[in-house]
A and B are shown apart, each in its own frame.
Chain A
Amino acid sequence: MSTDDFGDMRTEYGKSLVELGEQDKNVVVLGADTTDSLKTAGFGKKFPERFFNVGIAEANLVSVAAGLAYSGKTSFASTYAIFLPGRCVDQIRNAIAYPSRGDKKGLNVKLVVSHGGLTVGADGGSHQQLEDIAIMRAIPNMRVLIPADSIAVSKLTWTIAQQYGPFYMRMARSKVPIVHNESQDFEIGKGITLRDGSDCTIAACGITVKFALDAAEQLKQEGVSCRVIDCFTVKPIDKEILEKAARETGAIVTCEEHNVLGGFGSAVAEVISETYPVPIKRIGAQDMFGESARDNEIPDLLEKHGITSVNIANMVKEVRSKKQ
């Protein structure tokens, strides 16, 4: 693993879709006037008859996707994060997640979005989706994935195509550091321990996994041994790996590019409080909206919300001090 490698999640998503489309003629892709940006346009070029751009009409987007899925298609519907969970929670709930027949829980729609979180940057707070995890994980039958890098995106695109039912997968706008090996397997419901440790656990998702690894490295210099878990599968969350971490390390710091209310940190806290209570510290937006930041200023924006490796390291120290 080289820390200098970056990958583009959207590009990997687009490539995987084309490969999927070649293998499975039931795969259909829908977009809402953001198909170039989401890199789904390539699928559209290759399979124009299975590609539907419904214009700037997200409620329609997800409901058409639901109809296609009801008739046996595997629907991928994509646009920016801010326009799917936030704008279409009703359609996502009632047209995708709710309809169930027998063992089939929900319809076979994959909502794959980009531009999640603060790293959207310059577009500003109106476009920085910080509530999607909370919204989506509260919906029964919906599974929520926050991959950390482009390798994860590429593999998970295949995984969700092959597993029946609704998924929500969030990608970042900008290129992100690669944290996984090409050979890494991604199993829904199973977190990945990227680094072992005994003094504290840092559980992270999305782009913050890299920050967690950096913090752990920094802490190592100070003699603190941190375990780092990539919890890309926010729902279903890996209870086992979290409970084990609580038992073995006695303290947990969570990190996410999301509001700490109802998000990934909340999900971890729910598991830990019911299984093996240990002190927890949640890093993320502290119930605040974002704001504009140019590309070179994004670190400043993240820092304002405490989403940095330095803050993670500080929180590890704080949470360790609360250990019983």
Chain B
Amino acid sequence: MGLNYYQIKKNVLKARKLVIKGTTAAGSGHPGGSFSMAEIMGCLFYKHLKYDTKNPEWEDRDKLILSKGHASPGLFSNMAVSGYFEESKMETLRQFGTILQGHPDLKCPGVEFCGGSLGIGLSYSIGNALAAKLDEKDTRIFTVMGDGETDEGQVWEAAMTAAKYKIDNLTVILDRNFIQQDSYTEKIMPLDEHLESDDLSEMWKDASRWKTGDKWRSFGWNVIEVDGHRIEQISNAITRAKSVKGLPTIIIARTIKGKAVEHMEDNPQWHGKAAKPEFVPIIEEELESQFMISPSIIAGDMTHLENEVKRCVDGRADYIHLDVMDGQFVPNTTFDNEKIKELRPLTVIPFDTHLMINEPVRYVKDYIDAGSDIITVHTEVCDESSFGEIHDLLKSSQVGIGLAINPDTELPTWSEKFIPSLDQLIVMSVIPGKSGQTFIESSHEKIRKLTQTLKDKKFEGYIEADGGVTLDNVGACFTDGARAFVGGNAIIGQNDVRVVIREFRNRILRSRRKLLIKKANELGGTDLVNKWIDLHVVGKKKDELLQISQELGYQ
């Protein structure tokens, strides 16, 4: 389909909601493994996979083989979003007579493999890849496997076969979520090193313990390791895999089972269990409350921006905010597209380019070419016609579309028609032009109002709070409705970017938990609040939830 980063993210969200819809309606199914591979599926369905929903048996299509068949809701939900069938069909999951069987089945047009019995999919994929080579077809086979699945000996028979036949038209993605049905993989059948405690973060922290890649390398495979929830990393890996000739490629995607719903995350219980209907509205709210942190590098050392980008990468920023100032729209000048082009090879993290320049319509193409993932222009220097031009250009270039408003500006009427296709709205919470200003308090109210208005106007993007956002007010901005946060001085100005970003996340998370507890209370009073809190059995989440609940007077 070739969608941009933001649209992929939106579709991933839709798919996750459909996983819940389907499994809850069925009263069973596998949400955990569907969620761990959600971004992987998103990158395949909305960017890399070649297919035609109107002609599922199109001869030149790529084939997606879900070897970890139990995660069928994660496959079906994306098939629904991409248009193979109506989204409402998800409610028939596992029902008598449905095409959406408990495990993927050829009964459903578009499904390429009857999964379910683990360990078969890789061999089957090799067969398809060999056939494509015999037929000299320029198509690819994508195979998604589970980590627990690689306990199966057949996987390693297949691994040898793929290397022997130099199967380079096959990309395998391993959903390395560290959990299988009984417990953590490292307890049941270690793939890395034996894990002494239940704390998965041990594994995540210490890359020297990751041995899974070595296993595959020793079997003659090209191995790429990525964070399996970062769309840009997965997507980049898939692109790189395509250019590798003469050997098969496996992308080892480190993921979190149950990702995006806190009580499911890293909890083996959610391997194969459906959420109870009473929790669904809370889960949906949680899924919709994803957020992103975007450090603004101009708050750092302007003479060494390369270094600032590296600090963002090491700090695990979600994206990098690039403030382009022209000395006309704002008094300062920063850098232009040439600088962005120089910075682009340093990272695959999305570039959040914020054009604080006059006549953006004249320059937007340069910033697309420089490698921006989203480009935001100011309403103050656009009108319906020029923004229309920008909008169309960004869209056709698969770049995210952003609009920004200054503190004293409201959304102009002409912008209304563009709202449903906007990926981002930047609400300036300082006067643009220089770094280091204080957050304008009235911005809270402005974001709250906009959140409401935009919702009514079918806005599906992120509201980004930009200017003076700090640890002290980021939680409140989230509560207001902002879902992306630019951090200048408060992030880049600090010594340890990684620590401060983590702290930003914790503050936002706290606000989000508060929001969800309130939601639970609204829906079912203290009883539901407590039941929902009780679901959070892994780590220390429950303690914090109880504390918040007490503060709110629900205990």
Contact = CB atoms under 8 A, between A and B. Distances in A.
SS class of chain A's interface: helix, strand, loop or mixed? helix
B126 A91 contact: no
A65 B120 CA distance: 11
B207 interface: no
B210 interface: no
Contacts of A65: 127
Contacts of A28: 130-131, 134
Contact of A67 (B117, B128, B153): B128
Nearest to A58: B157
A170 interface: no
A67 B154 contact: no
A202 B357 CA distance: 95
A44 to B, nearest CB: 14
A60 B114 contact: no
A311 B105 CA distance: 48
Given A94-B114, A98-B114, A60 B123 contact: yes
27 contacts: A28-B131, A52-B130, A54-B157, A54-B161, A57-B154, A57-B161, A59-B119, A59-B123, A59-B154, A63-B127, A64-B124, A64-B126, A64-B127, A66-B120, A66-B124, A67-B125, A67-B126, A68-B127, A69-B127, A70-B131, A71-B131, A71-B132, A90-B120, A91-B123, A94-B120, A99-B113, A100-B107
B204 interface: no
Nearest to A104: B106
A49 interface: yes
B114 A71 contact: no
B335 interface: no
Given A94-B114, A99-B113, A55 B160 contact: yes
Interface in A56-84: 57, 59-60, 63-73, 75
B161 A60 contact: yes
Nearest to B165: A52
B127 A70 contact: yes
A250 B169 CA distance: 61
Interface string A96-109: 00111100000000
Given A28-B134, A73-B134, A60 B128 contact: no
State the 7 A-B residue pairs at the shortest beta-carbon distance, nearest first.
A67-B127, A71-B131, A63-B123, A57-B157, A60-B157, A67-B124, A68-B127
A156 interface: no
Contacts of A57: 154, 157-158, 160-161
Contact of B106 (A50, A63, A99): A99
Contact of A68 (B109, B116, B130, B164): B130
Nearest to A64: B127
B161 A95 contact: no
Nearest to B152: A59
B112 interface: yes
Given A52-B165, A55-B157, A59-B120, 16 more contacts: A50-B134, A54-B157, A57-B160, A60-B123, A64-B124, A66-B120, A67-B123, A67-B124, A68-B128, A68-B131, A70-B128, A71-B128, A90-B117, A91-B120, A95-B123, A98-B114
Contacts of A73: 131, 134
Interface residues of A, number: 29
A178 to B, nearest CB: 36
Given A59-B157, A63-B124, A66-B124, A95 B130 contact: no
Interface in A13-69: 28, 49-50, 52, 54-55, 57, 59-60, 63-69
Contacts of B129: 67
B130 A67 contact: yes
Interface string B128-168: 11111011000000000000000001100110110011000
Contacts of B135: 71-72
B134 A55 contact: no
Nearest to A63: B123
A180 to B, nearest CB: 34
Contacts of A63: 120, 123-124, 127, 154, 158
A72 B135 CA distance: 10
Contacts of A52: 130, 165
Contact of A71 (B117, B127, B154): B127
Contacts of B117: 90-91, 94-95
A50 B109 CA distance: 29
B160 A95 contact: no
A64 B157 CA distance: 11
A322 B335 CA distance: 102
Contacts of A70: 112-113, 124, 127-128, 131
Interface in B154-205: 154, 157-158, 160-161, 164-165
A147 to B, nearest CB: 27
A230 B322 CA distance: 81
Nearest to A53: B164
A72 B131 contact: yes
Contacts of B131: 28, 67-68, 70-73
B120 A55 contact: no
A107 to B, nearest CB: 9
Contacts of B105: 99
B493 to A, nearest CB: 55
A94 B123 contact: no
B158 A60 contact: yes
A167 to B, nearest CB: 17
A59 B87 CA distance: 37
Nearest to B131: A71
Of the candidates A28, A55, A57, the one having the most CB atoms from chain B within 10 angstroms of its own CB is A57
A28 B133 CA distance: 13
Nearest to B109: A101
Contacts of A54: 157, 161, 164
A100 B113 CA distance: 10
A55 to B, nearest CB: 7
Of the candidates B63, B123, B128, the one having the most CB atoms from chain A within 10 angstroms of its own CB is B123
A57 B119 CA distance: 13
Nearest to A59: B154
Interface in B416-434: none
Nearest to A66: B124
A28 B112 CA distance: 20
A99 B101 CA distance: 12
B69 to A, nearest CB: 9
A193 B128 CA distance: 42
A68 B109 CA distance: 19
Interface in B90-127: 105-107, 109, 112-114, 116-117, 119-120, 123-127
